[in-house]
Amino acid sequence: MILDPEKLGVRDTYKFLIGSVVPRPIAWVSTVSSDGIHNLAPFSFYTVASRNPPTLCVSIGPRTDDAAPQKDTLKNIRDTSEFAINVVSMPLANSMHESSLGHAPDADEFAAANLTPAECEVVKAPRVEEAFISTECALDQILTVGSDHLVLGRAVRFHIRDDLYNDGRVNLEALDPLGRLAGNYTKLGGIFELPMK
């Protein structure tokens, strides 16, 4: 079967994209507004954009309601040029879900999700204290790509729980990251090696 996105339409094309680009990691993005309100939301259109300098990218789509012209995360990043990306481990799945719900722009989503905002070293945005890994990011650029905005952030600090980092490697079993599969989730089902040539 061959599908033409133009014939498929926007909704079914979106469904195909989220069902075929799998599994996706989840960037749990924390920001602070120019009024000092903490914000937190998950984004699964997320990956590494460059290893050197270390740069991460997150794609933020349009709002699905009319409450504001853009998602709070995008507004805060535009206003402050800073954010943090927290890893969602299995024990934090429910809190992540809570933070994805449509809260009013003046709602503190850390409080709503019962999470602790921790200070970052370089950026003013908070990080999630309960997250096992958080990366402080300084905005590099925002690209408009069709209906979405691709936010590129330079990683300026990594925070990792001590017991998860050994000999330059992250303990992935202990990290226990959540992945996104279409509209559902997946967790690590086993790690294996392929032989090197």
Interface residues toward ligand FMN, by CB under 6 A:
26, 39, 41-45, 59-61, 71-73, 100, 102, 180
Which amino acid is it at 30? S
Map tokens 């996706």 to a residue: 24
C-beta of 71: minimal distance to ligand FMN in Å?
4
In sequence order, the 6+-apart residues with CB closer than 8 A to the CB of 76 are 31, 32, 33, 34, 39, 83, 125
Q: Which of 98, 39, 73 is nearest to 150 (CA)?
A: 73
Say if residues 115 and 129 touch (Cβ distance below 8 Å): yes
C-beta of 54: minimal distance to ligand FMN in Å?
20
Say if residues 130 and 116 touch (Cβ distance below 8 Å): yes
Tell me the two tokens of residue 54: 């270390």
Cβ closest to ligand FMN, residue 68 vs residue 166:
68
Cβ closest to ligand FMN, residue 94 vs residue 166:
94
Cβ closest to ligand FMN, residue 54 vs residue 61:
61
Q: Residue 112, Cα to own-chain centre: how many angstroms?
A: 18
C-beta of 25: minimal distance to ligand FMN in Å?
10
Cβ closest to ligand FMN, residue 148 vs residue 171:
148
C-beta of 4: minimal distance to ligand FMN in Å?
24
